[in-house]
């Protein structure tokens, strides 16, 4: 008598699921995920970040569906990785591509509205006849705020938020003493953040023409207004001398007929201007092309030198006749085990012109400027990178050599092939099949080896007259960093355009390299 399995009812299956401890663990975790997600949605709504809000809402819906259904088992494992991929890779790449086509940077950080308000605030003066308010300086999540009592009502505002009534603030006389969610700063704390306090302007209302609140002593605040008059209809600024500044939407700034401008400007799309500037700006095109050539030379020579030295040592210590092979192999790995940025700093001290070990001890007190001369600095970088990189190649080639069948060597010996003939006809071709992809990845790594350049030479010696602290040893990625963060005028749009260029170059080289490595597989 045969029995057929009966299908369990949904109620029994559900009852069995909720009786398991794992279900409650999952429930708690999903509650936390939804709580953080809803907090993020509310924060994005308050900041009017509609793209972030939409992404969080869609992500929460997808996550809840995936983890509360039995129909998407594979997605339960894939969805966390996909979310991190979207946030840390796709978003970064898309945002970088967008910034590359804008004038984003110092003086062009925000939209046009905040730029107009900031222009008016930076050309202000005290309005005669207005009241003076006892001011309370507050800190809310790291942001400075002003609090005053106006017409018996407690009001608080910040650089981005105009004065607003706060009903649950504590008032003593004509001054706020406590505010919910904010800390009242004492005199010592105010002195530590003096520049922030004295530079803060808090708008009285949403209309910039109503003026703003500022202070000179953190005790009393007064109302100030701009020396410039903004005409919203004509979209112009006029100063006290009658000079008119018209809005230039292509450049994202207000420009007068004589070419003078008002700062800050605002972000606008400039098309391919940043890409053109890399080749047409005489102050930038020369250093850029030199850095491009040096980047290729550095990446290629680094791969060739480290691979050659690592392969030679691997061949030598792969011979069973060498005594103490295990000890020597362990010693060769030490430079690779030492953190790269620390090794670069150590070598920077060793190569110091005045008191470095290289000059004072090995060269008997010589005064060779290893890091101050362009040519010597490049040689020093290649030498230090050889020290750091050959252990990796030694490990890789040692493993590849040991994987070559011994029968091939024996057959070559029987045919009368000598050691060099066996190496170049058998070992090297078979070895390249295994290590060619690693050589390509090593090229890509050295093409963007920012830490070595930054820690060893800082990109110097610098080119005179360059728009940023760009030097002879800067590779493209360190040049991007200098343009984006180290110059007096931070140019994020131009730096992003250069990042896109680096991405295209590395991508093309990698594609070409992997395509060529297929030919090596034919010998297998």
Q: Is the dihedral of CA 332, 334, 339, 342 positive or negative?
A: negative
Q: Are 344 and 452 in contact (CB under 8 A)?
A: yes
Predicted pLDDT of residue 514: 74
Note the pLDDT tens digit of each residue in 247-304.
Answer: 999 999 999 999 999 989 999 999 999 999 998 988 888 999 999 999 999 999 999 9
Global pTM reads 0.76
Mean pLDDT of the chain: 88
Predicted pLDDT of residue 19: 55
- Per the listing, tokens 């008598």 go with 1
Residue 1's pLDDT band (boundaries 50, 70, 90)?
very low
Q: Centre a 10 Å sphere on the Cβ of residue 136 and count the other Cβ atoms it contains.
A: 25
Reference 176, options 205, 153, 144; nearest CA is: 153
Alpha-helical segments (H) within 68-193: 73-85, 91-99, 112-121, 187-192
Average pLDDT over residues 215-240: 89
Residue 160 backbone dihedrals phi, psi, to 5 degrees: -105, -10
Q: Centre a 10 Å sphere on the Cβ of residue 195 and count the other Cβ atoms it contains.
A: 8
Residue 41 CA to residue 60 CA, distance in Å, equals 10
Q: Does residue 264 have a cis peptide bond before it, meaning omega lies within 30 degrees of 0? A: yes
Residue 278 CA to residue 100 CA, distance in Å, equals 12
Average pLDDT over residues 307-326: 88
Predicted pLDDT of residue 521: 56
Average pLDDT over residues 489-505: 91
Residue 141 CA to residue 394 CA, distance in Å, equals 51
Average pLDDT over residues 201-215: 87
Predicted pLDDT of residue 11: 53
Structure tokens at 496: 């992003």
**Structural element, H or E, at residue 263:** none
Residue 429 CA to residue 442 CA, distance in Å, equals 19
Note the pLDDT tens digit of each residue in 81-132.
Answer: 999 999 998 999 999 999 999 999 988 988 998 899 888 888 888 877 777 8
Of residues 126 and 62, which shows the higher confidence score?
A: 62
Q: Centre a 10 Å sphere on the Cβ of residue 400 and count the other Cβ atoms it contains.
A: 19
Q: Are 261 and 244 in contact (CB under 8 A)?
A: no
* Alpha-carbon distances of 282 from 276, 286, 497, rounded to whole Å: 11, 6, 17
Note the pLDDT tens digit of each residue in 442-466.
Answer: 998 999 999 999 999 999 899 988 8
Q: Centre a 10 Å sphere on the Cβ of residue 396 and count the other Cβ atoms it contains.
A: 20
Q: Are 444 and 510 in contact (CB under 8 A)?
A: yes
* Alpha-carbon distances of 391 from 96, 123, 328, 331, 456, rounded to whole Å: 35, 60, 11, 9, 20
Q: Centre a 10 Å sphere on the Cβ of residue 185 and count the other Cβ atoms it contains.
A: 19
Reference 109, options 250, 235, 265; nearest CA is: 265
Note the pLDDT tens digit of each residue in 328-373.
Answer: 888 888 888 888 888 999 999 999 999 999 999 999 889 999 999 9
Residue 511 CA from chain centroid, whole number: 25
Structure tokens at 355: 């008191």
Instruction: Name beta bridge partners: 136.
Output: 147
Q: Centre a 10 Å sphere on the Cβ of residue 21 and count the other Cβ atoms it contains.
A: 7
Residue 435 CA to residue 307 CA, distance in Å, equals 10
Question: Does 5 score more than 70 pLDDT?
Answer: no
Structure tokens at 45: 């709504």
Residue 465 CA to residue 287 CA, distance in Å, equals 10
Structure tokens at 78: 């894939």
Helix (H, G, I), strand (E, B) or coil at 440: helix
Crossing angle, helix 50-67 and helix 73-85, to 10 degrees?
Answer: 160
């Amino acid at each position: 008598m045969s029995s057929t399995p009966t299908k369990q009812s949904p109620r029994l299956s559900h009852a069995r699921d909720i009786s398991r401890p794992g279900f409650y663990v999952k429930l708690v975790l999903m509650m936390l995920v939804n709580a953080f997600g809803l907090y993020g949605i509310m924060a994005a709504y308050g900041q009017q970040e509609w793209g972030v809000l939409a992404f969080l809402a869609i992500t929460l819906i997808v996550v809840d569906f995936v983890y509360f259904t039995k129909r998407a088992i594979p997605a339960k494992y894939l969805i966390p990785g996909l979310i991190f991929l979207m946030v840390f890779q796709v978003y970064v790449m898309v945002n970088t591509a967008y910034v590359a086509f804008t004038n984003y940077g110092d003086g062009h950080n925000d939209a046009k509205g905040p730029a107009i308000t900031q222009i008016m605030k930076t050309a202000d003066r005290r309005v005669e006849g207005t009241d003076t308010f006892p001011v309370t300086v507050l800190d809310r999540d790291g942001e400075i705020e002003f609090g005053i009592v106006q017409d018996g009502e407690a009001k608080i505002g910040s650089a981005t938020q105009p004065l607003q009534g706060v009903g649950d603030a504590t008032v003593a006389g004509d001054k706020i003493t406590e505010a919910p969610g904010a800390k009242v700063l004492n005199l010592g704390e105010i002195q530590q953040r003096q520049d922030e306090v004295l530079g803060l302007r808090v708008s009285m209302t949403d209309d910039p023409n109503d003026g703003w609140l500022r202070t000179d002593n953190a005790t009393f605040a007064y109302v100030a207004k701009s020396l410039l008059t903004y005409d919203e209809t004509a979209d112009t600024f006029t100063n006290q001398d009658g000079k008119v500044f018209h809005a230039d939407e292509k450049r994202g700034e207000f420009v007068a007929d004589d070419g003078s401008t008002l700062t800050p400007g605002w972000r606008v799309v400039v098309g391919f201007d940043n890409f053109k500037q890399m080749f047409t700006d005489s102050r930038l095109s020369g250093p850029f092309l030199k850095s491009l050539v040096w980047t290729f030379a550095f990446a290629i020579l680094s791969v060739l030198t480290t691979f050659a030295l690592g392969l030679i040592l691997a061949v030598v210590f792969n011979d069973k006749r060498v005594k103490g092979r295990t000890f020597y192999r362990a010693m060769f790995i030490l430079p690779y085990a030492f953190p790269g940025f620390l090794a670069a700093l150590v070598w920077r001290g060793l190569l110091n012109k005045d008191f470095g070990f290289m000059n004072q001890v090995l060269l008997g007190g010589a005064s060779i400027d290893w890091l101050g001369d362009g040519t010597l600095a490049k040689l020093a970088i290649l030498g230090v990178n050889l020290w750091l990189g050959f252990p990796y190649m030694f490990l890789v080639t040692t493993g590849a050599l040991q994987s070559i069948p011994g029968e091939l060597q024996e057959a070559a010996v029987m045919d009368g092939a000598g050691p060099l003939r066996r190496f170049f006809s058998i070992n090297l071709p078979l070895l390249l099949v295994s290590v060619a992809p690693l050589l390509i990845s090593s090229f890509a790594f050295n093409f963007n080896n920012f830490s070595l350049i930054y820690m060893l030479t800082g990109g110097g010696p610098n080119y005179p007259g360059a728009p940023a602290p760009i030097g002879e040893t800067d590779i493209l990625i360190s040049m991007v960093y200098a343009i984006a963060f180290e110059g007096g005028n931070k140019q994020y749009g131009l730096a992003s355009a250069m990042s896109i260029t680096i991405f295209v170059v590395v991508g093309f080289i990698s594609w070409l390299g992997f395509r060529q490595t297929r030919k090596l597989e034919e010998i297998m």
